[in-house]
């Protein structure tokens, strides 16, 4: 294959950036309580400085004040062309837009929020009370956690491996930081995988988390600090008032599918994900082009990691014999005459 792509330098070179915040201080544009250049905290690594080009006037003040020259407003663009033997397509996970959650009150009130937003707030500090604080400064005491694919319209979003355990995990974390909080999970059915998920579910119940298995559900927002969850269970209608409704959202087919179909020739399946050949986990309809992760279907983190390993095997099989030799194993040391050492390795899977 001949692959042609555009390469742009980073707006902010994170290796040169010393995080002095001078660029933010001189930026004259303010949008949503932040400047046109702002920081996205990244857990376990450096902060990521981002420029909002929709509002940036390209005045250049941030570039001039940067002491290390780490910032470039006008990024040089370079077109490169390379020859490759195989291609792996791995676009990232995508959530449906806010409009797809109108029945859940998202965007109508501050009392409804997506779980992914809470996760983003918790990047730097881990999950703390500020992660769920309302704009008024109030810490909610009544929570509803809703797995939205169980109640949303068909073909808007799909449930992946993580959603049920994500709802349980969030409920446990809330009870750990606010022990007296009232937390209810709304779902059709709990879909856990393995003993680990089952133990988390029991832990949530032990902490006092309620689980309501509903058939239909919608959220009515009354004001910015309250929402009413209306649901149907066993043909009976009920409702529950909460101060914060947390939406555990699903996955949608990738928007880039149409473009990649034109460029690479790969085809979508009946749900809009990349079609994979039978008896393969990563081979597309085109020889030499492979797809992994959420691009080829509804996946969770473990499945995506497994496929990331599997695609290497299938790709090497397609390319033929590797032109390198693996490193030889280390030589065994002669232990004769040394005192014996005993190792005890205990399985931690609880049976």
Domains for the chain: give ranges and CATH numbers.
Answer: 8-84 (3.30.70.3270), 98-248 (3.50.50.60), 253-319 (no CATH)
Tokens of 36: 């046109």
Write the burial class of residue 136 (CB in 10 Å: 0-12 exposed, 13-18 middle, 19+ buried): exposed
Angle between helices 194-206 and 163-177 (to 10 degrees): 40
The whole-number pLDDT of residue 350 equals: 46
- Of 226, 210, 244, nearest to 118 (Cα)? 244
The whole-number pLDDT of residue 313 equals: 86
Tokens of 172: 């446990």
Beta strands in 165-292 (DSSP E): 182-187, 210-213, 216-223, 226-233, 236-242, 244-248, 289-291
Q: CA–CA separation, 261 vs 246, rounded Å?
A: 35
Low-confidence ranges of the chain (pLDDT < 50): 43-44, 350-351
Neighbours of 274 (CB within 10 A): 29
Q: Which residues contact 182 (CB under 8 A, 6 or more apart)?
A: 141, 142, 143, 210
- Kindly report the pTM of this predicted structure: 0.74
């Amino acid at each position: 294959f001949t692959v042609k792509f555009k390469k742009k330098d980073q707006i902010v070179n994170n290796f040169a950036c010393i995080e002095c915040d001078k660029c933010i201080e001189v930026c004259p544009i303010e949008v949503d309580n932040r400047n046109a250049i702002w920081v996205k905290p990244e857990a376990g690594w450096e902060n990521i400085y981002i420029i909002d080009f929709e509002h940036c006037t390209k005045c250049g003040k941030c570039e001039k004040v940067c002491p290390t020259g780490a910032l470039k407003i006008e990024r040089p663009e370079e077109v490169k062309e390379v020859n490759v033997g195989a291609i792996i397509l791995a676009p990232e996970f995508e959530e449906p837009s806010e409009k797809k959650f109108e029945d859940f009150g998202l965007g109508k009130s501050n009392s409804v929020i997506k779980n992914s937003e809470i996760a983003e707030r918790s990047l730097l500090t881990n999950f703390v009370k500020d992660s769920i604080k309302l704009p008024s400064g109030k810490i909610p005491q009544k929570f509803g956690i809703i797995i939205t694919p169980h109640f949303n319209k068909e073909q808007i979003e799909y449930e992946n491996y993580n959603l049920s355990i994500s709802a349980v995990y969030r409920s446990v974390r809330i009870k750990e930081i606010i022990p007296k909080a009232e937390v209810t999970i709304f779902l059709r059915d709990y879909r856990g995988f393995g003993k680990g998920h089952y133990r988390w579910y029991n832990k949530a119940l032990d902490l006092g988390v309620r689980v309501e298995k509903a058939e239909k559900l919608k959220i009515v927002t009354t004001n910015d600090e309250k929402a009413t969850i209306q649901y149907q269970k066993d043909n009976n209608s009920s409702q529950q008032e909460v101060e914060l409704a947390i939406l555990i959202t699903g996955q949608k087919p990738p928007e880039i599918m149409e473009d990649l179909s034109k460029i690479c020739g790969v085809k979508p399946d009946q749900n809009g994900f990349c079609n994979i050949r039978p008896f393969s986990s990563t081979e597309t309809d085109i020889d030499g082009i492979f797809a992994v992760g959420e691009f080829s279907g509804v996946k969770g983190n473990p499945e995506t990691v497994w496929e990331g390993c599997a695609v290497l095997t299938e790709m090497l099989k397609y390319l033929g014999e590797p032109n390198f030799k693996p490193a030889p194993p280390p030589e065994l040391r002669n232990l004769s005459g040394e005192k014996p050492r005993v190792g005890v390795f205990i399985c931690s899977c609880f049976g």
